[in-house]
Structure 1
Amino acid sequence: MTAEQPATPPGTAQRLLQLLDEATLEVIPLKGAQEQILRTSEKATVAVTCSPKFGLSRTLEHCTVAANAGRRVVPHLAARMVRDHASLRDFVRQVADLGVTDLYVIGGDAETPAGKYHEAAELLDDLAAMEHPFTRIGVGCYPEGHPHIDDDRLWEALLRKQSHATYLVSQMCFDATAFTSWLTQARARGVTLPVRVGVSGPVKLAKLTELSLRIGVGQSLRFLGKQHGLVGNVLMGRTYDPAPFLRAVLAGQPGRGDDVEGLHVFTFNQVAACQDWLDTQRGARA
């Protein structure tokens, strides 16, 4: 039995099936993303990212596509892309008009903030002081650290953010032991929010390697390579399967086992492959 395959508690398969049914599929508003959104199932929850390159208007445009198609929508809102209180209020109004009740707030990747907000906690403070429709607010967490922020600052920020949030979304991870160890530490430090586990969809391993290094999860990727012969599988053109990682996470949860609320699937705009994988996993456990 490897570190990635602890003893599986009773009910894990059923719990995994529930998480798959309630997974959030992340879409990046690149060219062709509207078609990707429409490839999700009619009951899907679609998260739309934001970045300095495309601006909040592109996020709102694709949220509109998803909402008009009947999908449940979770907009990303990067604090560093919001100029001021008035801009925040305008964004809230526009997503409220779409019927959005779930928002995911991040600090953002912009080197220079567009205005007054430098980190997610500052924006969350202002959001809490205004009228808004959100019954759920997610914030990010980093089980394997952040490439540009030290651990002490990450813990401090997370404790501050959780007073305004209802759930966490983790950085993409491949190492179940690292994830569950972080979760145990989080509980010990007073972080009480449930987590939506950030997991890669079934992307070709060659592409996943490139993307993982770019977004700062190279350490986790090295674990994947050590455990699963990544180089050979890349050369053979194989695709990553998230299922073993997820089963290991569920088996290794601390406490009562209800720390994991759901999944946040990084589709990298390969929605059809993700949808096929989800359907296959459901079928195998039907």
Structure 2
Amino acid sequence: MTAEQPATYPDVDERLLPLLNEATMEVVPVKGAQAQILATSQNATVAVTCSPKFGLGRTLEHCAMAAKSGRRVVPHLAARMVADRASLRDFVRRLADLGVTDLYVVGGDATTPVGRYREAAELLDDLSSMEHPFTRIGIACYPEGHPHIDDDRLWEALLRKQDAAGYLVSQMCFDAATLTSWLRRARERGVSLPIRIGIAGPLKVPRLTELSLRIGVGRSLRFLAKQHGLVGNVLMGRTYDPAPLVRAVLAAEPEPGSDIEGLHVFTFNQVPVFQAWLRTQAGATA
């Protein structure tokens, strides 16, 4: 099989377009993010990230705009950015006022926690003991590992957190074998939550390469380079196509139809590009 002759899986293709249409689209709340949110369809699910640079207030601001525009909202909440239990309660109350029922909890990238929470598990413990509106809570998983946390600690944390969560969201990955082999290991270790596969949206390959190395997914990026001529694509300024990855993951799903509940698209605030690409996928499968 070559990059010019992608594998096709008839049963998988029936699942591909619904998963793409129902994917969560991640938006970073920087300048211009409101326009990115409004570029999604009215029934879209939008995840708004949370980072040390912009603070919890910026996340809430964009969640409010998205919710009031009719979108379904999944706020990110980084534990290391929450000062204390009172701050957590206030964040939860403000989301409840917006009608938000889905929350994605991560440890966060802040080098130094602003308060008592060092990791997501600690925040989830406090969250579970207070009244909240969330019918679904997602947690992160790292099929390629974490640049600052060893694998044993990752597995221990995942098992601890899963009782307070309803689904997993994987880090961005480019290698189907890495994703599916990790999922098999997770099931063997007792992790039973369904997963939303983290995929990169269509993006010019040079920019995607830069961002991928920055967030620590170099291993599967090297796989992409070997299998799909990444160097040539960089030189020619081509755009990454995530569809073959999704097809391959679905084809190798350990428990077909039960492990993978959806997709989480890292749009890099290029929502119109993703929407245009999605229309081409709809035409290709018509």
Q: What is the correspondence of 1:218-257 to structure 2 with a 5 Å cutoff?
A: 218-257=218-257
Q: Is the 8 A contact 1:195 1:259 kept in 2?
A: yes
**Corresponding residue number in structure 1 for 2:79:** 79
Separation in 2, partners of 1:49, 1:270: 15
Separation in 1, partners of 2:68, 2:79: 26
Separation in 1, partners of 2:15, 2:74: 23
Per-residue deviation at 1:67? 0.7
**Corresponding residue number in structure 2 for 1:174:** 174
Matched positions, count:
285
Deviations, residues 237-273 of structure 1 (Å, cap 9, x unaligned): 1000000000000000103442000000000000100
Separation in 2, partners of 1:26, 1:93: 23
TM-score (norm 2): 0.97
Secondary structure of residue in 2 paired with 1:117: coil
Percent identity over the alignment?
76
The one-letter amino acid paired with 1:201 is G
**Corresponding residue number in structure 2 for 1:67:** 67
Secondary structure of residue in 2 paired with 1:199: strand
Q: Is the 8 A contact 1:84 1:116 kept in 2?
A: yes
**Corresponding residue number in structure 2 for 1:91:** 91
Per-residue deviation at 1:124? 0.4
Secondary structure of residue in 1 paired with 2:164: coil
Secondary structure of residue in 1 paired with 2:155: helix
Name the stretch that deviates more: 78-87 or 250-259. 250-259
Per-residue deviation at 1:16? 1.0
Q: Is the 8 A contact 1:6 1:252 kept in 2?
A: no
Separation in 1, partners of 2:2, 2:145: 24
Per-residue deviation at 1:277? 1.3
Per-residue deviation at 1:158? 0.4
Unaligned runs of 5+ in 2: none
**Corresponding residue number in structure 2 for 1:149:** 149
Separation in 2, partners of 1:268, 1:278: 16
The one-letter amino acid paired with 1:136 is R
Q: Is the 8 A contact 1:75 1:104 kept in 2?
A: yes
Change in CA separation of 1:6 and 1:280 when aligned onto 2, cut-off 3 Å: closer
Per-residue deviation at 1:9? 5.0
**Corresponding residue number in structure 2 for 1:104:** 104
Q: Is the 8 A contact 1:80 1:110 kept in 2?
A: yes
Change in CA separation of 1:233 and 1:7 when aligned onto 2, cut-off 3 Å: closer
Q: Is the 8 A contact 1:141 1:171 kept in 2?
A: yes
The Cα RMSD (Å) is 1.5
Q: Is the 8 A contact 1:20 1:282 kept in 2?
A: no
Secondary structure of residue in 2 paired with 1:105: strand
Deviations, residues 102-122 of structure 1 (Å, cap 9, x unaligned): 000000000000100000000
Unaligned runs of 5+ in 1: none
TM-score (norm 1): 0.97
Per-residue deviation at 1:2? 6.7
The one-letter amino acid paired with 2:182 is W
Separation in 1, partners of 2:243, 2:32: 27
The one-letter amino acid paired with 1:217 is V
Name the stretch that deviates more: 101-110 or 5-14. 5-14
Separation in 2, partners of 1:7, 1:21: 21
The one-letter amino acid paired with 2:267 is T
**Corresponding residue number in structure 2 for 1:135:** 135
Q: Is the 8 A contact 1:7 1:251 kept in 2?
A: no
Per-residue deviation at 1:284? 2.0
Secondary structure of residue in 2 paired with 1:277: helix
Secondary structure of residue in 2 paired with 1:58: helix
Per-residue deviation at 1:209? 0.4
**Corresponding residue number in structure 2 for 1:50:** 50
Residue 120 in structure 1 maps to residue 117 in structure 2: no
Secondary structure of residue in 2 paired with 1:36: helix
